Structure 1
Amino acid sequence: MIVCVAVVGQQNNPLYLQSFTNGDDALKFHYIVHCSLDVIDEKVSNPKKLGVSLNETFLGLLYPTEDYKVFGYLSNTKIKFILVTTDQDLRDADVRNFFRRFHAAYVDAASNPFHVPGKRITSPAFAERVSSIVKAFGAGQVP
């Protein structure tokens, strides 16, 4: 189950963060997303050491915690996409597909002429589209 998704800008500024839990976990997920930025920077700065191709936008599993798994995706424009999930047995193909759809939703939101690049995404249409992508991802999982 996806518990949080985030979009982080080029200067590591949060552009969008949405939690899908019932509790007051927003601060905890901000912390998890912030910690994942260090792992992304390490993977990007040492690609040969960590076996990451710079042509590959999907960064894979960034790190597991006791309760969550954190996945990352880096666009060509250095926008970072973070996925926090509780599922322990996710296939990379499913996560890649999620990130492709999430990235496409971001591109559509950023292409809005009223959106200021580098500023938070406040579009209700984007939030609704992200929610539908998350629901479709959860529905596609077979227990």
Structure 2
Amino acid sequence: MIVCVAVVGHNNNPLYLQSFVDDDNTLKFHYIVHCSLDVIEEKVSNSKRAGVNLNETFLGLLYPTEDYKVFGYMSNTKIKFVLVTTDHDLRDADVRNFFRRLHGAYVDAASNPFHVPGKRITSAAFAERVSNVVKTFGFGAAA
């Protein structure tokens, strides 16, 4: 089950964070997403140091916690997408497909002429599309 989806800008500023659980733990998810940014930066810098060209935007499992698994994805423009889930049996192919659809939704939202690049995404259409992507993949709780 997906419990949180986040989009983070290239300056590590939060652009969007949506929680799919009913409790008031959004601060906890902000913390988890913030911690994942360190892991993303480490993976990217290690690939550069090793001389590997990071053409693959899917970063895979960033880290597991006791209750969650955190996955990452980074676009070519350094926009980071973070997925927090409680499902410990997710296949990488499913997570990749989820991130591709989430990235597509982000591109559509960022292409809106009324969206200011680098600012929070407040579009209700984007929030609805993210919820639909989560429901489509069957990961989400009743959102």
TM-score using structure 2 length: 0.93
Q: Relative to 1, partners in 2 of residues 1:98 and 1:128: Cα closer, same or farther, differing over 3 Å?
A: same
Shift in Å, 1:100: 0.1
**How far apart are the structure 1 equivalents of 2:111 and 2:8?**
17
Shift of 1:48: 6.5
What TM-score, normalized by structure 1, do the two folds share? Answer: 0.93
Task: Indicate the SS of the match to 1:70.
Answer: strand
Aligned equivalent of 2:109: 109
Aligned residues: 140
Cα gap change, 1:73/1:139 in structure 2, threshold over 3 Å: closer, same or farther? closer
* TM-aligned CA deviation for residue 71 of structure 1: 0.2
Unpaired runs of at least 5, structure 2? none
C-alpha deviation, 1:29, in angstroms: 0.1
Amino acid of the structure 2 residue aligned with 1:56: E
Is 1:69 aligned to residue 69 of structure 2? yes
What is residue 79 of structure 1 aligned with on the other side?
Answer: 79
Tell me how far 1:47 sits from its aligned partner. 1.1
Counterpart in 1 of 2:43? 43
1:67-91 alpha-carbon deviations (Å, 9 max, x no partner):
0000000000000000000000000
Deviation at 1:25, TM superposition (A): 1.0
Report runs of 4+ in structure 1 exceeding 3 Å deviation.
none
1:1-143 superposed matches below 5 A? 1-47=1-47, 54-138=54-138
User: The residue matched to 1:24 in structure 2 has which SS?
Assistant: coil
User: Relative contact order (alpha carbons < 8 A, sep ≥ 6): 1 or 2 greater?
Assistant: 2
**Displacement of 1:135:** 0.5
Deviations 1:30-88 (A, max 9, x none): 000000000000000011778x7501000000000000000000000000000000000
